[in-house]
Structure 1
Amino acid sequence: MPRPWLLVALVGLAYAQAPQFAVEGRVTYAASYPLGRWEGTNTTASGQVRWEMESGALEGRICVDLRAFNSGNPLRDADSRGVFEVNKYPQSCFQPIRLLRQGEAVSVVGILELHGVSREIRIAGSLSQEGAAYRFRGVFETRFSEWNLERPSLIFVRVDDPVQVRLEARVEPVWTR
């Protein structure tokens, strides 16, 4: 007679052995409007993930403090905090689900939570090994409307949609004793 509980226990045990990693990095958005282009960078990305390397399964959470974007222009940064409504939604978090390999390229699929909205996204990029750690660099495009965000404007000229988002993260193993 089959024992489904045994299969569930073995799968759970295998997952419990998946290595855990600390993630630290930065997020940069590139936005434009008819009169120019600019970028804002946020260096607060941090979290932890479990990564089953064989299957590519990921589980964890990486968050960014939305109050910390720096574009080099304090007025623009204040506007971005208003667009994000940081008093109501102070952070954005990403819950990775799977790492897909396509030759040298990789994609990370997961759920991004921003402004009270959760959506699945795919971040195309590269993954390189640095000793025991890894470096992920990726990019995706998104629209303000996907997150119920109002497009900012300057003198009645709205920011272009979509916005490009670039990520860079160092992913280091968490050693347990």
Structure 2
Amino acid sequence: MTAESTSSMNTKLSSRLPRYLKLLYGKQCQELIVEARKLMKRELHNTKRVGTMKVDNKNLKDQKQDAKDKCHVSEGIFALPECAVSESIECLVNLAYQTLQEAGSNTPQCAIQLFYTVRNMFEIFCDVVPTYHRDSLQKLSLECALHHNNCMYIVPSPADAGPSVSSILTPAPL
């Protein structure tokens, strides 16, 4: 084997590498979407308590006075009150967080694909859950309230995770 044949082989392999990586990333994203869809089709009535809103009475007066003095919004105003959400939705949000964390530690091209995959997961949620669980959502008010809680639980998830990958997704300065 000569040096020329080795260098030509390396050139061929390096030219195919971006296509291979794109295919690999696409397959990974497709598997994530399939997993998310399976989670969305699970039963809604298996629930878990979530939320962090607990009021401390002794600090309440101090917080009210502090809010009046500083004219700012309390940090707890956007917190999800304690409520029940479907276990499958919590798994979906965890899958989204894990995917975004993985995006943060990957190449920029892969990070962008993973970021859009997470966005697509939540877009699919808007279509799959109301369609797949239509009968129970129409007939059972408890299921409808649970779906509302699920949606409220999902809302801050992408916004909270955004800063962790924003440095990768923003284009580099010229």
- TM-score range, shorter-chain basis? under 0.3
Q: Rg: which structure is higher?
A: 2
Please state which structure has a larger fraction of its residues in strand.
Answer: 1
Which structure is higher in RCO with an 8 Å CA cutoff and minimum separation 6?
2
Structure 1 or 2: more helix by fraction: 2
TM-score by length of 2: 0.26
